[in-house]
Amino acid sequence: MTILFISDDDNAQRWCDAIARHLEGFDAANDFRIWPDDGGDPAAVDIALVRLPKPGVLAGYTNLKAVLNLGAGVDDLLADPAFPRHVPLGRMVDDSLSGGMVEYVVHGVLHFYRAFPAYARSQEEHRWQPLAHLPDPGRWPLGIMGLGVLGRAAAAALGSFGFPLLGWSRTAKEIEGIEVFAGPEGFGDFLGRTRILICLLPLTPETENILDRNAFDRLPKGAYIINAARGGHLVEEDLIAALDGGHLEGALLDVFRDEPLAAESPFWDHAKVIATPHVASISPSRNFAAEIANDITRVRAGGPPRHLVNMKSGY
């Protein structure tokens, strides 16, 4: 039985060493293969550890018992028409992922709430111009799109600052401290009361392009956008238009439709945009290794990965 590692962005040997520390009986020389140079016999591969594999690659491995994604988002995998959808797909859920995302979102909210863009402009112009008074957090409702592990963790941290918390999800939920809106029928009311919109949704056919002109028009004038989910959520030209037209005041973007962000993208030089290179939540191999080893053990015993993806919902 063989584990196949597929990723152009990760150090395969580092992952192998980290997993070996947690997996009893693991023989790296015989049990671990690295695509594409050391793929071995495709028929012998029973588990694939992947991050952004090229489309069609997994279709050639006909005896897979599970695919374990080295991250939380699986939209790229499910967008591959050749992905073997009959094979259980597991995604990573880790405290360090949530912690990093919470830090990023809290930073973004406080950056806009405390008017740091205005202070940055004052510094560029050599102007000493403090604001007359501190803003009132009670007048800054935060709207969180996506109330899974990441959304709830972000809400818990932000609530301590006194911000009113609004949440929107596909289905109705009851979460203490959050006023929850659900489905298409609740989306407009949710947006209409949101001062800073935070997107932490999974990317599915239903949520693709959800951050568009129609959504921006429903936000109050002067609202802000934070997108730390997926680039496919955002209609980029609609955001530029809303910023240039003055309806939106600013945006913090960590994800983009095409990555790396093209040199000619207007986001690089836009005065109202902060662009970061998909770094909101990064977890090193040592943090995931125990969870992956646990999933490998479960799968080889005939069970599913712990965080099994629902192929219909896409998360």
Q: Which residues belong to the active site?
A: 230, 278
Q: Is 300 helix (H, G, I), strand (E, B) or coil?
A: helix
CA 125-131-135 angle, 5° bins: 135
Report whether 180 contacts 168 (CB < 8 A). yes
Sign of CA dihedral 41, 44, 49, 53: positive
Report whether 80 contacts 104 (CB < 8 A). no
Q: Go through the chain and tell me how many residues it has.
A: 315
Helix 95-113 to helix 116-124 angle (10° resolution) is 60
Longest CA span, the chain: 69
Question: In the chain, what are the helix, strand and coil shares in percent, each to the nearest 5?
Answer: 35, 20, 45
